[in-house]
Amino acid sequence: MAPTFTLASASPNPAVFGQPVTLTATVIPLGLGTPTGTVTFVVTGGPTVTGTLVGGTATVTVSGISVGFHTITATYNGSALFSPSSGLTSVTVVKASTTTTVTSSPDPSTFGQPVSITATVAPVAPGAGTPTGTVTFVIGGGGGGTLTGTLSGGTATVTTSSLSVGTHSITATYNGNAQFNPSSGTDTQTVTASLLPTTTTVTSSPDPSVFGQSVTFTATVAPVPPGSGTPTGTVTFVISGGPTLTAPLSGGTASVSTSSLSVGSHTVTATYSGSGTFAGSSGTDTQTVNKASTTTTVTSAPDPSVVGQPVTFTAT
């Protein structure tokens, strides 16, 4: 058998964690002919893979090589005409860079309301994989502080309900691990004063009414003590078996009228939409619509009439 020697290479080199690495072995005969067969690549601390020679060259692609320096042995397994041989090369895998993005919800929030802050950590191409480890959240302003969350599926979430009224800066720092470099991102969270609770009461007039009669529905919106002030905004009236009507508050009251209600009992729900100061609320009432009374009058013509003359009677 003709002796051979094997040249090995790796590309890219260095590579970042998660990046596929192409291993190439070229088998050169010390004589005539083109070696055939297979080459086995052994990556220290990594996989062992086999490639087939084509034109004297075998190429394979490997993924998942850990961070660090790795020796690669490419062994040509020989054939009926060519002797085995081996070649060495190496590849260095470095940590992948990352990006960290931050979101908060709800934003804006009201004072005392729980706020969830989420950091999403992703590798920067050509790095790949799902980062693990921890994220440190630094929240500025009153009621802020430092919180730590653990990544799961590339995201980490912390919750706080202690933030004071105002705007808070948020910095989320991914602390990195054996495969991924640290990174950080920023966001802001706005906290507004708590909305004052309200009550909504509904009345209708006249009640009961008769069919075809105009009925006026009035909603009165008031703050719950010790809250004070006059709520503004709109009230929506939903009338069962009737229309849905909307009216603005004026002096804390809103009114609508309709004459289209059918005979029977109707539930009326008035919903206050709330405002930047007052929370929404709703109230209900019932309206009874009775049948309308009638009068019947009768006339005859001609009157008087003569015997045998046709007489017409009319009821109105």
State yes or no: pLDDT of 110 exceeds 90.
no
Please report whether residue 129 resides in a domain. Answer: yes
Angstrom distance (rounded) from CA 44 to CA 25: 16
Q: Provide the domain limits for residue 23.
A: 4-94
pLDDT of 112 reads 84
SS3 78: coil
Range 269-285 average pLDDT: 93
Residue 111 pLDDT level (bands cut at 50, 70, 90):
confident
Please report whether residue 306 resides in a domain. Answer: no
Task: Write out 176-208 in H/E/C secondary structure.
Answer: CCCCECCEEEEEEEEEECCCECEEEEEEEECCC
State yes or no: pLDDT of 148 exceeds 90.
yes
pLDDT of 277 reads 81
Please report whether residue 303 resides in a domain. Answer: no
Tokens of 154: 């590339």
Q: Are residues 102 and 65 in the same domain?
A: no
> How does the average pLDDT of the chain come out, rounded?
95
Asked whether 40 and 47 are in contact (CB, 8 A), the reply is no
Q: Final residue of a domain: which of 165, 192, 219?
A: 192
State yes or no: pLDDT of 122 exceeds 90.
yes
Pinpoint the alpha helices (H) of the chain.
Answer: none
State yes or no: pLDDT of 120 exceeds 90.
yes
Angstrom distance (rounded) from CA 253 to CA 31: 103
State yes or no: pLDDT of 42 exceeds 80.
yes
pLDDT digits (tens, 9 = 90+) for 170-217: 999 999 999 999 999 999 999 988 888 999 999 999 999 999 999 999
Please report whether residue 298 resides in a domain. Answer: no
pLDDT of 226 reads 82
Range 256-285 average pLDDT: 94
State yes or no: pLDDT of 222 exceeds 80.
yes
Q: What are phi and psi of 228, to 5 degrees?
A: -145, 170
pLDDT of 193 reads 81
Q: What share of the chain has pLDDT > 70, as a percent?
A: 100
Q: Are residues 184 and 103 in the same domain?
A: yes
Q: What angle do CA 239, 244, 245 make, to 5 degrees?
A: 110
pLDDT of 65 reads 96
- Give the β-pairing of 109-110 and 115-123: unpaired
Q: Are residues 70 and 130 in the same domain?
A: no
Q: State how far the alpha carbon of 146 is from the alpha carbons of 101, 135, 137, in Å.
A: 17, 10, 6
CATH label of the domain that carries residue 276: 2.60.40.10
Count of domains in the chain?
A: 3
Q: Are residues 208 and 178 in the same domain?
A: no
Q: Final residue of a domain: which of 157, 176, 192?
A: 192
Please report whether residue 43 resides in a domain. Answer: yes
State yes or no: pLDDT of 276 exceeds 80.
no
Asked whether 234 and 255 are in contact (CB, 8 A), the reply is no
Tokens of 27: 């088998």
Q: Are residues 202 and 286 in the same domain?
A: yes
Q: Final residue of a domain: which of 94, 109, 124?
A: 94
Tell me whether residue 137 is exposed, middle or buried, using C-beta atoms within 10 angstroms of its C-beta: 0 to 12, 13 to 18, 19 or more. buried
Residue 111 or residue 176, greater confidence: 176
pLDDT of 202 reads 97
SS3 25: strand
Please report whether residue 299 resides in a domain. Answer: no
